[in-house]
Amino acid sequence: MQRITITPSQIHGNHIALTAEQHHYLTRVIRLQHGAQFQAIDGTGKLYLAEIIAEISQQISTRTAQIIQTITTLNRELSQPITLICALPKGNNFDDLVRACTELGVTTIFPAISDRTLLNPSPQKLQRWRKIAQEAAEQSERLVVPTIEEAQALKAIFDQLPTPTYKYLCEARGEHPHLLTSLQSTRLTDMSIIIAIGPEGGWTDAEIEMAIEHGFQLVSLGTRILRTITAPIVALSIITAAIENSEL
Amino acid sequence: MQRITITPSQIHGNHIALTAEQHHYLTRVIRLQHGAQFQAIDGTGKLYLAEIIAEISQQISTRTAQIIQTITTLNRELSQPITLICALPKGNNFDDLVRACTELGVTTIFPAISDRTLLNPSPQKLQRWRKIAQEAAEQSERLVVPTIEEAQALKAIFDQLPTPTYKYLCEARGEHPHLLTSLQSTRLTDMSIIIAIGPEGGWTDAEIEMAIEHGFQLVSLGTRILRTITAPIVALSIITAAIENSEL
């Protein structure tokens, strides 16, 4: 069944006020008729089964859909939020990264401007990443659309992180404990997890110092050399597996 | 330092017989001079530090490099081989998959023609994937270049798998134990691990039956819906993390 993403403010009682774009898509592009059903997620965890109301109805706004059912049974979300801080890679790879990390269950992504990445992405890029996160959430049947924050300097990101959290900084060169080992020696129940992945060439010593001051544990993703584009997917794979195993 | 991939048959005592292409690359493209050093991996686990010999030397073949040192200390390889059986995805995504899985330490990849993928890739595709595996092994400083087998029907692949092995088939829809749980309840020491990832739409019931007959355990990669392109990366991330943790 077709699925669209709405905002919670579009819900009015048992109706959804569709935007012009959504209404056009549902009735003109995929040509749903009066009474045809579709799904809507509000990005905060609620999934609605809704029905198209034909435009001939004069009683209510012509861009309104009727909510048939609010579904919350099929919850693919993890029990705790995961925040990814990721140094912006060279090139346009961040698109793929946002898509894969959304599939994997990330809650928030902070694109980080680190000492070794001078790239400051355009506002268009941010809009694009948010669109990709929304599409990927729809495709992977998630109920939560990850928040993509504006690209910021690492220090600014560190200063706004929620507490208490488990904070991990991946660092390839050192002799650090493996992320899985660190996670499995922790009681993974109630706190959110923050994972930071460096740029090509790794974090600078100053960045590592700053992370330690902000309560980050240094961890390794294994002995292999991973590209900046692969490392976040590996880290999130390990985190989600560790969380789902701790729930057993 | 520049790194090239050679075959073991190019080693003659303490010399490397370079191919015309390798010699051209080293002396013309990147312009290494007499005495300049480079690294060569033979794809089976050996790394050589070698030195260019100027063409004016008449004593030995003009396309020969001198081996200075055979290095085996920096071993990024896992303690046991990992074989990935992966149903061919739609589109050209298999390139990215070969690249990421090589980084992650895979030893052998079997592109599988499953009931739900009718694609039979051209010989050019296979050559391309082998080239990507070689490049990715060089970039990620691996000593082993993964073997990319020819695309085959699932049954043909199952019939040629080595034994004894741990065999896992990922299946999204069922209520199967998590891959990490299965791995961590196993003594991960001496046997190779085989992981099979299905196509868009999943394995057919007949394929699942056949896998069970061939000794595969059904496992899950978590409750989220993953694309065919993401699932193998997630599975390999979990396997490598589990192996490296069992070695502690």
Q: Please name the amino acid found at residue B98.
A: V
Nearest Cα neighbor of B141 from B206, B56, B227, B76 is: B76
> Inter-chain contact B225–A180, Cβ cutoff 8 Å?
no
Question: pLDDT digit string (tens) for A7-32?
Answer: 888 998 889 999 988 988 888 888 88
The CATH architecture that domain A82-246 belongs to is 3-Layer(aba) Sandwich (3.40)
Q: Is A23's Cβ below 8 Å from some Cβ in B?
A: no
B129 to each of A62, B113, B146, how far by Cα in Å? Answer: 53, 16, 10
- CA-closest candidate to residue A241, choices A73, A75, A104: A104
d(CA A214, CA A196): 12
d(CA B91, CA A247): 36
Q: What number is the average pLDDT over the span A59-67?
A: 73
For residues A101 and A232, the answer to whether their CB atoms sit within 8 Å is yes
A97 with A121: CB under 8 angstroms? no
Largest interatomic CA distance in chain B? 69
Helix (H) or strand (E) holding A100: helix A94-103
pTM of the model: 0.76
Contacts of A75 in chain B (CB under 8 A): 223
Q: Which ranges in chain A are annotated with CATH 2.40.240.20?
A: 3-71
A185 touches chain B (CB under 8 A): no
Show residues of chain B in contact with A244, CB under 8 Å: 178, 180, 222-223
Provide the pLDDT for residue A91: 72
How far is the C-alpha of B240 from the C-alpha of B218, rounded, in Å? 19
Lowest mean pLDDT among A76-80, A205-209, B29-33: A76-80
Instruction: Tell me the residue ranges of DSSP E strands in chain A.
Output: 3-5, 11-12, 15-17, 37-41, 47-52, 64-71, 82-87, 108-113, 147-148, 152-153, 165-170, 192-197, 217-219
Confidence tier at A34 by pLDDT (50, 70, 90) = confident
Element spanning B20, H or E: helix B20-24
Hey, CA dihedral for B91, B94, B100, B101, is it positive or negative?
Answer: positive
Of B181, B224, B241, the CB nearest to A178: B241
The CA distances from residue B126 to A43, B21, B122, B129, B209, in Å, are: 41, 20, 7, 5, 29
Q: Which residues pair with B111 in a beta bridge?
A: B86
Smallest Cβ–Cβ distance between A181 and the set B139, B140, B248 belongs to B248
pLDDT bin (cut points 50, 70, 90) of residue A247 is: low
Pick from B158, B168, B157, B165: nearest CA to B220:
B168
Angle formed at CA A75 by CA B202 and CA A105, multiple of 5 degrees: 75
Q: How far is CA B210 from CA B98, B169, B202, B203, in A?
A: 25, 11, 14, 11
CA end-to-end span of chain A: 31
Q: Phi-psi region for residue B87, left (φ > 0), alpha (ψ -120 to 50) or beta?
A: beta
CA distance A57 to chain B (A): 38
* Residues A76 and A162 sit within 8 Å (Cβ to Cβ): no
Give A191's pLDDT tier (boundaries 50, 70, 90).
confident
| DSSP string for residues in B177-235 | PBHHHHHHTS--SSSEEEEEE--TT---HHHHHHHHHTTPEEEB--SS---TTTHHHHH
The pLDDT confidence band at residue A153, using thresholds 50, 70 and 90, is very high
Class level of CATH domain A3-71: mainly beta
CB contact under 8 A, A103 and B225: yes
Residue A75 has a pLDDT of 66
Residue B118 vs residues B97, B151, B158: alpha-carbon distances, Å = 19, 11, 18
pLDDT (0 to 100) of residue A132: 96
Largest distance between two CA atoms of chain A: 69
Nearest 10 degrees: Cα torsion A97, A102, A104, A108? 100
Which of B142, B180, B234 is the closest to A245 by Cβ?
A: B180
* Window from A89-93, A222-226, B64-68, B78-82 with minimum mean pLDDT: A89-93
Tell whether omega for the bond before A232 is within 30 degrees of 0, i.e. cis. no
- CA distance linking residue A32 with residue A8, whole number of Å: 23
Interacting residues of B10 by C-beta distance below 8 A, sequence separation 6+? B16, B17, B18, B19, B42
Digit-coded pLDDT (tens) for B14-32: 899 999 889 888 888 888 8
* 3-state secondary structure at position B46: coil
Question: From the CA of B159, how many Å to the nearest CA of chain A?
Answer: 30
Q: Which residues of B touch A135 (CB under 8 A)?
A: none
Which residue ranges does chain B devote to CATH 3.40.1280.10?
82-246
At residue B72, the pLDDT reads: 63
Query: Which ipTM value was assigned to this complex?
Result: 0.74
Q: What residues contact residue B61 under an 8 Å CB cut-off, 6+ apart?
A: B17
